[in-house]
């Protein structure tokens, strides 16, 4: 985990980038901000008044941040369009909307240009600003629209781009989770089924996070029960009414605030969130993508040191990373781990029934300091417990599984050889075994 201390001083918006990690997560070069490594680069982006609440960060040509200008009750956007490491060029910091009290609960994503969902505080509406032609002004026809004005709506917004912009949000008046999805991308939300109530069972829908798998998916907090929930329209038919399309992910104590949802490269949903009861950061990850989070190791506590886990944000790159707030120390923290391999589709070279020994995402790992090679066929049978059926390893570059079965063999012959390898031990019963090093 990496950590950066909280900055003290006056109001302002800061851009904070963990450079090496950010390059991995976003698959972009960060040369304008620093060289690769684990050094933090911190700069003041905007200090004009009291600015910087309700931020959302996304990448277009360069980093862009939507945020609330408290002094002016306005929505602003900072966008380093030429990616030179500052926000000082013409129109790189603009006021997007200042009609009434606007700009809280913002969420930023990129389609043909930057798009921002946000709450309008005077009329209590959900709004969308979308610079469709990417000319930097949001001044063209229908580039700022009121999406939903039915009652008191638009809090806890999350924006993602599917066939058009989609927004999950909280209906405060009714205590419901709603979704607005401009499926035909025509710039309004007046078509049939383009604004729907997703969940109305109790007071639900705060702390939403929206992402796309096979269809739109939303993680959110169930205030009535203190649970984490997930709504996932897997067949993308627009109703969330099919079996198991709305599920309770975690109900152990009061959990599910500050959710962040993302899909890995294999289409498996993962959610980071705050465990209110214990003050912990937790992760729910449907590793076998079977539609629930009930298998071993699919719900884990990531960090329990102090009061940690508010304001989470989760992303996938070469691994999984979660940024979050350490309330005990006033720190920003980052947790990174390897991504588990996809569920295998091939059959192991054995007639045995293989079972997974759950001990985290990758149950076993050769020591980082080990530079030798383990030839599996040379292992002494006396060093292998009878419960061990074999070793499973995922060859990432080849996108395939390799196996080794004691006394049988298989495609997997060697581990190591100058590399570090995560592997899984498969057993018939309770057994915790590490491959012995020669």
Q: Domain ranges for the chain, please list them.
A: 2-338, 342-438
Question: What is the mean predicted confidence (pLDDT) over 65-85?
Answer: 93
377 phi, psi to nearest 5 deg: -65, -20
Q: Is it the case that residue 41 has pLDDT exceeding 80?
A: no
Contacts of 32 (CB under 8 A, 6+ apart): 62, 80, 83, 84, 85
The SS3 call for residue 367 is coil
Band of residue 386 on the pLDDT scale cut at 50, 70, 90: confident
pLDDT tens per residue across span 95-135: 999 988 999 999 999 999 999 999 999 999 999 999 999 99
Q: Is it the case that residue 355 has pLDDT exceeding 60?
A: no
Question: In terms of Cα–Cα distance, which of 235, 272, 267, 233 is closest to 250?
Answer: 272
What is the predicted pLDDT for the residue at 266? 83
Task: Of 97-101, 160-164, 237-241, 410-414, give the lowest mean pLDDT range.
Answer: 410-414
The SS3 call for residue 376 is helix
Question: What is the mean predicted confidence (pLDDT) over 204-214?
Answer: 97
What is the predicted pLDDT for the residue at 338? 58
What is the predicted pLDDT for the residue at 370? 73
Higher pLDDT, 72 or 32: 72
Q: Taking the CA atoms of the chain, what radius of gyration do you get in angstroms?
A: 24
191 phi, psi to nearest 5 deg: -75, 165
Query: The tokens of 390 are what?
Result: 């074999």
Query: The tokens of 417 are what?
Result: 């050889």
Q: Is it the case that residue 17 has pLDDT exceeding 70?
A: no
Q: Is it the case that residue 177 has pLDDT exceeding 90?
A: yes
Residue carrying structure tokens 């963990």: 18
Specify the length of the chain in residues. Answer: 438
pTM of the full structure: 0.74
2-338: CATH topology is Neuraminidase (2.120.10)
Measured between alpha carbons, how far is residue 99 from residues 47, 75, 96 in Å?
Answer: 21, 9, 10
Q: Is it the case that residue 358 has pLDDT exceeding 50?
A: no
Q: Whole-number mean pLDDT of the chain?
A: 82
Contacts of 362 (CB under 8 A, 6+ apart): 338, 340, 422, 423, 424
């Amino acid at each position: 985990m990496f950590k950066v201390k909280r900055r003290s001083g006056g109001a302002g918006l800061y851009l904070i980038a963990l450079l090496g990690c950010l390059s991995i997560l976003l698959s972009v070069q960060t040369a304008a901000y620093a060289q690769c490594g684990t050094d933090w680069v911190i700069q003041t982006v905007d200090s004009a008044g009291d600015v910087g609440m309700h931020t959302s960060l996304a990448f277009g040509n360069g980093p862009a941040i939507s945020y609330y200008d408290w002094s002016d009750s306005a929505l602003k956007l900072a966008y380093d369009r030429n990616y030179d490491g500052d926000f000082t060029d013409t129109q790189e910091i603009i006021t997007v909307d200042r009609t009434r009290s606007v700009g809280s609960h913002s969420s930023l994503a990129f389609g043909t240009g930057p798009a921002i969902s946000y709450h309008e505080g005077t009329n209590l509406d959900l709004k969308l600003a979308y610079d469709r032609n990417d000319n930097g002004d949001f001044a063209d026809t229908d580039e700022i629209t009121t999406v939903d004005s039915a009652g008191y709506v638009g809090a806890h917004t999350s924006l993602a781009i599917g066939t058009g912009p989609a927004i999950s949000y909280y209906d405060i008046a009714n205590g419901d989770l709603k979704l607005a999805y401009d499926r035909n991308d025509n710039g309004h939300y007046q078509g049939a089924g383009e604004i729907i109530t997703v969940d109305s069972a109790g007071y639900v829908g705060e702390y939403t996070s929206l992402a796309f798998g096979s269809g739109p998916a939303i993680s959110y907090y169930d205030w009535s029960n203190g649970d984490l929930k997930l709504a996932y329209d897997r067949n993308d038919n627009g109703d969330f009414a099919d079996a198991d399309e709305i599920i309770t992910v975690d109900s152990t104590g009061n959990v599910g605030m500050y959710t962040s949802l993302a899909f890995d490269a294999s289409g498996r949903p993962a959610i980071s969130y705050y465990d209110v009861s214990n003050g912990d950061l937790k992760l729910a990850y449907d590793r076998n993508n079977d539609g629930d989070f009930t298998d071993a190791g699919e719900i884990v506590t990531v960090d329990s040191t102090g009061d940690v886990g508010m304001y989470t944000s989760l992303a996938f790159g070469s691994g999984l990373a979660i940024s979050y707030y350490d309330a005990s120390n006033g720190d920003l923290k980052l947790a990174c781990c390897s991504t588990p391999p996809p569920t295998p589709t091939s059959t192991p070279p054995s007639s045995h029934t293989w079972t997974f020994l759950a001990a985290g995402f990758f149950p076993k790992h050769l020591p980082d300091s080990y530079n030798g090679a383990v030839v599996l066929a040379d292992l002494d049978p006396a060093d292998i417990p009878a419960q061990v059926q074999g070793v499973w390893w995922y060859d990432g570059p080849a996108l395939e599984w390799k196996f080794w079965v004691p006394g049988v063999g298989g495609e997997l012959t060697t581990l190591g050889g100058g590399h570090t390898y995560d592997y899984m031990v498969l057993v018939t019963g309770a057994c915790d075994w590490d491959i012995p090093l020669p």
